[in-house]
Chain A
Amino acid sequence: MTTASPIRAPWRAATRALRKSLRNGAVTLAESLASPLVPADYLDMVSPLRRGAELSGRIVAVRPETADAATVAIRPGRDWRGHVPGQYVRVGVEVDGVRRWRAYSLTSPVDSPDGCIGITVKAVPGGVVSNHLVHHARQGTVLRLEQACGEFTLPERHPAKVLFVTAGSGITPVMGMLRNQAAGLEDVVLVHSAPTAADVIFGAELRRLASDGQVRLAEVHSDAEGPLDAARLAELVPDLAERETWACGPAGLLDTVAEHLATTGAAAPLHTERFRAATVVTGAGGRVSFARSGATVDADGTTPLLEAGEAAGVLMPSGCRMGVCFGCVAPLRQGAVRDLRSGDLTTAVAGDGVLIQTCVSAATGACDIDL
């Protein structure tokens, strides 16, 4: 049948309207029964991953990659929208009872048959969340998630010649790309720096990709060879200037790559990804008061307002924690803050509501934040 009969169409519309009003009625009923909570508070007890829930994921496995790195496989909630290789996901992890948010690169296939995603985490010295995930995360634990984000991805039209320059855990977004898109890339060079061969995350898999001819792999073992510098890079990749480059690693490495490309006059673009904001300045610090929550804290000039607020128990909105995503923006009602990356001073007088990124701003005098 290609057309609806004149009688059935209004009938269908009527049943659709009825179904809709029944559904709305049921929701209203559930809401009035759950008051002062919401129905989701009860549903979350049994089904945290259901459609419509706040996005969460359940850890299904923790696989060691090296002595201090592991891949955490997570079954995301039904509302997970998928990711593009190279992107990261922010996860909210409870460590010692405190929820902490961090961003980690997605390293899994985008269409894994079991529907799981994987993040690969390197335990950094003193890193509360990374050490917890690598060494103590347990199967079955539910984590908070946000949708994947990040611009460190390959364009839809892959460039003919690609160079990846990575160090340490900087390999993780690149591994996400290689696992998903290596077959579509014709000429790939990967220069990766790690202290020793054993420290190379995904070492065996990368070497296999290299032996299969899918990438040309150059490992730099910095304990023996010293850090990767411009000269070494030029030696390893003679045609560097012709390659569109994706670089991910510590600030020093990214600067090396950028400077080198500038001096060689490379025309191809450079894409970089940092895991931490590069701090250049510090403010003087000051007393920070959070108007709506009533909390007050003395923050020094190096502590981002986001961390100062969290330590004081304020529910701070947060995002990437490196000044990129603007998820942490809050109004500064009064006071002065300094951007930790640039040293730029932002001031507000009474009556203002200057929006500041709390994750990269530190107090430089008394501040009044509208949170």
Chain B
Amino acid sequence: MTVMQKKTDSPIAHLSAQDIEDIGAELDAIRADVVAGRGERDAAYIRRVIGAQRSLELGSRSLLLASLFPPAWLAGVAGLSVAKILENMEIGHNILHGQWDWMRDPKIHSTTWEWDMASPAALWKHSHNELHHTYTNVVGKDNDLGYGIMRVDEDQRWIPLYLGQPLWNFVNACLFEYGIAAYDLELGKNWTKLRTDPEFQQRARDVLTKIRNQMRKDYLVHPLLSGPSAPTTLAANVVANVVRNLWTHSVIMCGHFPEGVETFEKHSIDGETRGEWYLRQMLGAANISGGPITHLMTGNLSFQIEHHLFPDLPSNRYQELAPRVRDLFDRYGLTYATGSLPRQVASAWKKVVRLSLPNGVLGRLGSIRSPGAAVAAVTRLGGAPARRERQAA
């Protein structure tokens, strides 16, 4: 993709300034409806999910005490992986967004919650809620675009280092929680501050403390409690953490990387109105289609568009308000980017591979359908820019 402002066929060229403000007003109205209707049903939902997650985690860890027996190992790993995914996605991510602050329950509140991953909640909230959600997909401002280690947009200058980005991306996926922690610290940029800046040193210490506690639980205490099953429990916990990392990485890639998601120029957001902000969120995210299990396990980030429009509305409401949002896209002639999980993951990976090379090199591979077409594409290397694909579910 190319930043929207440089495109010849801008997807918003047909919208007037008034249209954009009308879209904003309609989205404000949707938001107000949900806020007015929040209540007991929603509170019961998040408590039920938290209760189920904790029971599943307890049950799985208990099973793993006997992980020497392969069936216990398998069931334990499966259960713990699901528990960790639920904890990070539907529970942790959404609570830290303040989606449940309205309940005034100090135990389920963005200011008190701590989650089961390497990056401390407070640090993550800054880089995610304040930076990513404010500057969504603005090249040069939203570091979630490639996490500072990858080229995910034609407008990022290519350097040979990016040749390895399919590999970096895979390694980052496996170790995603540590990648997030390093990213939240902006470690690459702040490396020298480790010696000089006491405030940064404190932040780094907080991360290390969190990582130490996480590792002590999963890789020391729980295995030791398993007695003779210690090695297999250790392995199980490593696997569960990697499964969780791969899953969350995939879901998050699907949110902003698939083909069809727009990016924006740095100065395009100067003096942005509320309507324009909403519009950027509408075009800068992609959904994952699927059933209730998909939505639950992605923490309802399968409704990434709705989440970006209303980051602090309870996640269980995204599915309910999605038809109204979709209707808005249709009426204003905008494309609602969505696709199944395998399709969106493949699309995101394709982009990672394509942009590891200079612009246009793999331009036509996106539409390859046969070996013959592949040969033809390679012989036409260096041709037209990548074709934009927008997918309708």
* Partner-B contacts on A (CB < 8 A): 29, 32-33, 35-37, 41-42, 45, 94, 96-100, 292-293, 310, 313, 315
CB-based contact A310/B104 at 8 Å:
yes
CB-based contact B104/A100 at 8 Å:
yes
Min CB gap B132→A, angstroms: 16
CB-based contact B58/A35 at 8 Å:
no
Residues of A contacting B382 in the complex (Cβ-Cβ under 8 angstroms): none
Q: Would you call the interface of chain B mostly helix, strand, loop, or mixed?
A: helix
B41 and chain A: residue at smallest CB distance: A97
CB-based contact A315/B112 at 8 Å:
yes
Min CB gap A112→B, angstroms: 29
CB-based contact A42/B54 at 8 Å:
yes
CB-based contact B216/A315 at 8 Å:
no
Residues of A contacting B55 in the complex (Cβ-Cβ under 8 angstroms): 45
Of A33, A42, A292, which one neighbours B111 at CB under 8 angstroms?
Answer: A292
Q: For the complex, is B43 an interface residue (Cβ under 8 Å from A)?
A: yes
Min CB gap B5→A, angstroms: 31
Q: Would you call the interface of chain A mostly helix, strand, loop, or mixed?
A: mixed
B112 and chain A: residue at smallest CB distance: A315
Alpha-carbon distance A71/B41, docked complex (angstroms): 26
A30 and chain B: residue at smallest CB distance: B221
Residues of B contacting A313 in the complex (Cβ-Cβ under 8 angstroms): 98, 101-102, 104
Alpha-carbon distance A42/B107, docked complex (angstroms): 12
Q: For the complex, is B213 an interface residue (Cβ under 8 Å from A)?
A: yes
Residues of A contacting B103 in the complex (Cβ-Cβ under 8 angstroms): 94, 97-99
CB-based contact B42/A97 at 8 Å:
yes
CB-based contact A45/B111 at 8 Å:
no
Q: For the complex, is B40 an interface residue (Cβ under 8 Å from A)?
A: yes
CB-based contact B43/A29 at 8 Å:
no
CB-based contact A35/B104 at 8 Å:
no
Of B43, B104, B210, B221, which one neighbours A32 at CB under 8 angstroms?
Answer: B221
Alpha-carbon distance A96/B51, docked complex (angstroms): 19
Min CB gap B112→A, angstroms: 7
22 pairs, CB–CB < 8 Å, chain A vs chain B: A32-B216, A32-B221, A33-B222, A33-B225, A35-B214, A36-B115, A36-B213, A37-B114, A41-B54, A42-B54, A45-B51, A45-B55, A94-B40, A94-B43, A97-B44, A97-B102, A98-B39, A98-B43, A99-B103, A99-B104, A310-B104, A315-B111
Alpha-carbon distance A313/B108, docked complex (angstroms): 12
Residues of B contacting A98 in the complex (Cβ-Cβ under 8 angstroms): 39, 43, 102-104
CB-based contact A33/B221 at 8 Å:
yes
A313 and chain B: residue at smallest CB distance: B101
Alpha-carbon distance A98/B104, docked complex (angstroms): 6
CB-based contact A97/B213 at 8 Å:
no
Alpha-carbon distance A42/B356, docked complex (angstroms): 46
Q: For the complex, is B28 an interface residue (Cβ under 8 Å from A)?
A: no
CB-based contact B43/A36 at 8 Å:
no
Min CB gap A153→B, angstroms: 30
CB-based contact A33/B217 at 8 Å:
yes
